[in-house]
Amino acid sequence: MAEIEIGRLLRAGITGCVVGCRVSQLNVPAFGDLVRIPLTDGTQVFGLIHNIAIDDDGLVRQLVTAEGLSAEVIEDNRVNRNVPVEVSVLFVGCEQGEVVSHLLPPRPPLTLDAIYPCSPAELCRFTAAGRFGYFRHVLRAAGEIPIGELLAAHVETTARAQKISGNEKWINEATKELITLLRDDYATLNSVLGALADCRLD
């Protein structure tokens, strides 16, 4: 089956990147999803989606005031117009020679590299590798991104995938690890646990 790319890279640093995609591709990525970016040397960079921004422009600002906007105009602005949705990704690890690492990638991806969503199997493999080392990249971004909500979205999706694959312990271990990592930061711990409490974990 052909892989569906989410979008292509606009700009990147060593800790994250911003991906541009058309609005019509927007049904694929979601906040908290794990994505992967294959590099030409065989390395794969993994990241979590922590923001999805939809910019406007002069024409869109004018169109919102029009009465009875036609379906054709809406489709045109979503499909054709050069106003990409910007998806921000926080790098949380990489894979080299089939070995998953929760260290940052050795180099960022390049302009127009394609970004793909991780399959449930890839998600389980990445999140079960090591001892949740990738959490520190998320926690380091406290104050810049809503880490409680991001972790809640990520844990909810991952716990479901891990449970289906037979790893029912994953969620308890993940929660314990977060409590350990945040034991000296009561405010953030409270915020993260509050968000996790809102997760629907069936």
Q: Pick one of 23, 39, 63, 199: the residue that binds another protein (CB under 8 A).
A: 63
Interface segment toward another protein; rule CB under 8 A; list 29-37, 66-74, 135-143, 145-153: 66-74
**Is the Cβ of residue 80 or residue 190 nearer to another protein in the bound state?**
80
In the chain, the largest separation of any two C-alpha atoms, in whole Å, equals 56
Q: Two tokens at 184? A: 């000296």
60 binding another protein? (CB under 8 A): no
Query: Residues touching another protein: how many (CB under 8 A)?
Result: 18
Q: In sequence order, which ranges of the chain are alpha helices (DSSP H)?
A: 58-63, 71-79, 120-128, 135-140, 147-164, 170-181, 186-197
* In the complex, least distance from residue 76 CB atom to another protein, rounded to whole angstroms: 4
Q: Pick one of 59, 121, 179, 201: the residue that binds another protein (CB under 8 A).
A: 59
> Is 73:67 a contact under the CB 8 Å cutoff?
no
Q: Two tokens at 154? A: 């990520």
**Which helix H or strand E contains 93, and what residues bound it?**
strand 85-96
Q: Two tokens at 65? A: 């005031």
Alpha carbon separation from 113 to 17, 19, 103, 156 (Å, rounded): 11, 9, 20, 28
Strand, coil or helix: 180: helix
Which residues between 161 and 200 bind another protein (CB under 8 A)? none
Q: Pick one of 72, 98, 184, 202: the residue that binds another protein (CB under 8 A).
A: 72
Q: Pick one of 4, 30, 53, 69: the residue that binds another protein (CB under 8 A).
A: 69
> In terms of Cα–Cα distance, which of 160, 155, 149, 157 is closest to 195?
149
Amino acid at 124: C
Q: Two tokens at 175? A: 């929660």
Which residues between 74 and 113 bind another protein (CB under 8 A)? 75-76, 79-81
In the stretch 1-40, what mask flags binding to another protein with x, by CB under 8 A?
----------------------------------------
Q: Pick one of 1, 41, 65, 187: the residue that binds another protein (CB under 8 A).
A: 65
* In the complex, least distance from residue 86 CB atom to another protein, rounded to whole angstroms: 20
Which residues sit at the interface with another protein, rule CB under 8 A? Answer: 59, 62-73, 75-76, 79-81
